[in-house]
Amino acid sequence: MPVFTREQLSAYLDDALSDGETAQVEQALRQSDPLRRQLRGLMAERDRGEHSIGAIWRRERLSCPNREQLGNYLLRVLDGDQQDYIQFHLHTVGCAFCLANLADLQARQKEPASRTQQRRRRFFESSAGLLRAGRSKR
Ligand SMILES: [Zn+2]
């Protein structure tokens, strides 16, 4: 099991490692709980860092899938490798930023249905109200 330095993990988060090194880190992350904890600790540290730096880092996080990719992941329309990568990124790396993004997308996917229901209920209530008003006039 290779040991990674803070600098290497940091470079991994910045997507600044070579493909070979990135593969090594990802392989190790799949196998090592302490390494996953170490990486999450580093991510949390960076998120807590000076506000603007944290914000820039999040904006420029290259290893994060974008919203469209996350949406496709939810719909399961990505090819196997991409689906695996995002699964890995979310659940093995535990990227809080992408998990929050995913939760937001899931909430939006559910929204239209409940909105339609609300509209139906409102329509039903106002029709019932009209019927009652009509009846009381008679
Ligand atoms: Zn991410």
d(CA 9, CA 127): 62
Longest dimension (CA), the chain: 86
d(CA 15, CA 122): 50
| Ligand 1 centroid distance, CA of 111 (Å) | 24
Tens digits of residue pLDDT in 50-72: 544 555 555 556 578 888 999 99
Q: What is the band of 13 on the pLDDT scale with cuts at 50, 70, 90? A: confident
Residue identified by tokens 């919203």 is 67
Tens digits of residue pLDDT in 102-122: 999 998 877 666 565 666 666
Cβ atoms of residues 64 and 97 within 8 Å: yes
Q: Residue 83, CB half-sphere, CA atoms under 13 Å: how many?
A: 9
Tens digits of residue pLDDT in 21-36: 999 999 999 999 999 9
| Ligand 1 centroid distance, CA of 110 (Å) | 22
| Ligand 1 centroid distance, CA of 90 (Å) | 7
The whole-number pLDDT of residue 15 equals: 81
